[in-house]
Amino acid sequence: MDIRTQVSTNYGDMATKFADTWKSQVSRLQARFSTAIEEVRMPIEFPVDVPIVYVKKDSIIGVLSFLKTEQGFEYGFLADLTAIDESPAEPRFEIVYNLYSLTSKARIRVKVRLAEGEEISTAVPVWRGADWAEREIFDMFGVKFTGHPDLRRILMADRWEGHPLRKDYPLRGYQVFTDPDPINQSLLD
Please give the pLDDT value at position 66. 97
Specify if 136 maps to a domain.
Answer: yes
Residue 6 in any domain: the answer is no
pLDDT tens, residue by residue, 51-89: 999 999 999 999 999 999 999 999 999 999 999 999 999
Whether 1 maps to a domain, the answer reads no
130: β partners: none
Identify which of 149, 110, 113, 114 has the alpha carbon closest to the alpha carbon of residue 129.
149
Domain containing 35 — which CATH number? 3.30.460.80
Q: What is the pLDDT of residue 46?
A: 87
pLDDT category at 188 given cuts 50, 70, 90 is confident
pLDDT tens for each residue of 21-39 = 999 999 999 999 999 999 9
In a domain, 9, yes or no: no
DSSP output for 7-52:
---TT--HHHHTHHHHHHHHHHHHHHSTTTEEEEE-BTTBS-SS-E
Q: How many domains does the chain have?
A: 1
Domain span at residue 130? 14-179
